[in-house]
Structure 1
Amino acid sequence: MITAILQALDLSRATYYRWYSKGTKETLTEVEQAIMSICKAVNYRYGHRKVKALLKEDYNIKCNRNTVLTLFNVISKRRNQTKNG
């Protein structure tokens, strides 16, 4: 059954089972929630450096700039996907 569906979707079984084993992530981490609230508060106008500074000031969360950049990009992509359809 799975094989027929995967063939129709042109996906390999390995891809399906890799996706299946990861599962879905239901909850956001504390950092992700903080970044989301900062971005919404400033209407997504700040860059990752300013967001990192606000994380440290307002939420007392200390993390690497690259971590903030990665999460910031994921959140921005989600926002653009829902915005564009």
Structure 2
Amino acid sequence: MIDEQQLTTLFPSFEQPLVKQMAEKAEIREIPSGELLLKTGQNIRSTTIVTKGLVKIFREDEEGASSLCTIWDLARPAHCR
């Protein structure tokens, strides 16, 4: 369980019922640099919300080769490299 105040601080625009539900079910994890969050074709069973760091988005072609699509810098809101 996560503290509701912590969630309200992170997501001030979220309505209280959503914050309460997230507090009951969410977990905070620290993801090491370079670890994959999702793979192409992976079934998604939960929502991941990244609150700090860099997120690199890659695109795979038909042969499975990947190329960097964009980088989100979460230290600088609304900033993509």
TM-score by length of structure 1 reads: 0.27
Q: Which has the higher helix share?
A: 1
Q: Which has the higher strand share?
A: 2
TM-score by length of structure 2 reads: 0.28
Greater Rg, structure 1 or structure 2? 1
